[in-house]
Amino acid sequence: MSKDKPKGGLGKGLDVLFGGSEAAEQTVSAPEFHRNITELNPKTDEQILFIELENIKANPYQPRKEFDSAELSDLAESIKQKGVIQAITVRKLDDGGYELISGERRLRASKIAGIEKIPAYVLDVTAKEDLLEIALIENIQRANLNSIEVAEGYKRLIDECALRQEDVAVKVGKSRSAVANTLRLLTLPDEIKLSIKKGEISEGHARSILAMDNDVDKMLLFKRITTENLSVRKTEELTKKKKTKAAPREKKIYEITDQNKAAIKFLEEKFMEHFGTRVRLNPSSPTTGTIIIEYYTAEDLERIIDLCKK
């Protein structure tokens, strides 16, 4: 993807999207659908049309997967009362129709509101990379995406638009470290990523989970967060205590066979599921050994003791 774009091309389109046009802040109410374009948008020569909703195809690069039905209903009611506050952006297709670039929520809410046409900026964009870049950046900057959707958007910009993390940081107005930390969320186990998407745990929880050394510890901490409704602060405290108090793995006294290793791992996982913390079995002979149940706070110990009593 070319870094230098001629004036009046994609650069102008991005100006419109990100505040270069005063028209972006104007209200376009339903009775005004047939106003003259120059009257509506006197300070830019970007083309605005009032397009029938049925002629607009979905955005194939939409990074947002989940749309809150209550929020869409509220937006639809607002559109009924005040109209579409900001025009969506589309591109013209060869068959005479249009393809959405940005404004998915406005388009969906307009359909719910029952209006027939919607104001739209028509951008002269044809390259896949440009379409993807505009759609992703606009959604990342404006939409209420969850952190996993943002991370997936960053990754697509890197993979499909041949951008570096530094380039992504500049385009979305974040620091390089912020982009890198968000991308790290994609390394979490799938169950945790799904929980973030559903809003069950926050990005703060997720960053604490990332501090754990392995997936087993990550899942154990995740289970405690969800079952005990831990705050982000409490989760951070547990993470710090785990890092400072984790006991080193004891040296085995005798050689363990592969079969025994599999059995030990199975038993450890069962213990960890029950106690919600790390448990290690250290056999010292074929019939003897120790069980180590880790705890990190006084409350943690009381919880384990209660479980032992049951």
91: domain CATH number? 3.90.1530.10
Which of residues 249 and 149 earns the better pLDDT score? Answer: 149
One domain for residues 199 and 303 = no
One domain for residues 238 and 296 = no
One domain for residues 44 and 117 = yes
Q: Give a yes or no: residue 238 inside a domain.
A: yes
One domain for residues 27 and 127 = yes
Least confident span in 168-182, 197-211, 289-303: 289-303
One domain for residues 229 and 277 = no
- The alpha carbon torsion through 127, 133, 134, 140 (nearest 10 deg) reads 160
Q: Give a yes or no: residue 137 inside a domain.
A: yes
How confident is the model at residue 17, as a pLDDT? Answer: 39
Least confident span in 27-41, 43-57, 97-111, 287-301: 27-41
One domain for residues 235 and 295 = no
Catalytic residue among 104, 133, 138, 152: 104
Of 221, 246, 271, the one marking the end of a domain is 246
Q: Give a yes or no: residue 163 inside a domain.
A: no
Least confident span in 61-75, 146-160, 208-222: 61-75
CA within 13 Å, CB half, 116: 4
Domain interval for residue 94: 10-141
Q: Give a yes or no: residue 181 inside a domain.
A: no
One domain for residues 41 and 89 = yes
Is residue 23 very low, low, confident or very high in pLDDT (cuts 50, 70, 90)?
A: very low
Q: Give a yes or no: residue 157 inside a domain.
A: no
- The highest-confidence range among 19-23, 39-43, 209-213, 283-287, by mean pLDDT, is 209-213
Q: Give a yes or no: residue 1 inside a domain.
A: no
The token duo for 221 is 């901490």
One domain for residues 50 and 85 = yes
Q: Give a yes or no: residue 126 inside a domain.
A: yes
104 is catalytic: yes
Report whether 256 contacts 283 (CB < 8 A).
Answer: yes
One domain for residues 16 and 137 = yes
Of 202, 222, 246, the one marking the end of a domain is 246
Q: Give a yes or no: residue 261 inside a domain.
A: yes
Number of domains in the chain: 3
Of 246, 263, 280, the one marking the end of a domain is 246
Instruction: Look at the pTM and tell me if it is higher than 0.85.
Output: no
